[in-house]
Amino acid sequence: MDGLKFIHQLIIILGFSLPVIYIFKQGNVPSISGFLIAGILIGPFGLKLIDDTAGIHFLAELGGAFLLFSGGIGMQFSRSVKNVSEVLPSDLVLQPADQLILFGSHSAIDSALKILGGEP
């Protein structure tokens, strides 16, 4: 994606996002919903103002990084340390369970492919 096309797409995104976010804020709806609605409107399945899929993926990753960054900025470290006793036990139980589920689903798919004659 060249620089001029990126700037053009960014202007389109901001031009549609800012009014939608303003309207959503007036109705006490989270701004992330405004970004999603604006993305649907201007994307390849809406008005098709932005149809470069590689650019869309890049901007989506940039938006995800921005969302994680803004969430981290709003987090209070002292509050997180205070809640460790609530989070840690559930994490110690759920993480191995997640890994078992992922391993089991991978094994099931691999077995099904072998039975059906596909490549594992």
pLDDT in tens, the chain (120 residues): 577 887 888 888 888 888 888 898 898 888 888 888 888 888 888 888 887 777 778 878 887 888 788 777 766 767 666 766 666 666 666 677 777 777 777 777 777 777 777 665
Long-range contacts: 73-77, Cβ < 8 Å, 24+? Answer: none
Q: Tell me if the pTM is above 0.75.
A: no
Residues 6+ apart with CB under 8 A from 39: 13
**Distance from first CA to last CA of the chain, Å, rounded?**
35
> CA dist 13 to 5, 8, 76, Å?
12, 9, 31
What tokens appear for 19 in the block? 């009014």
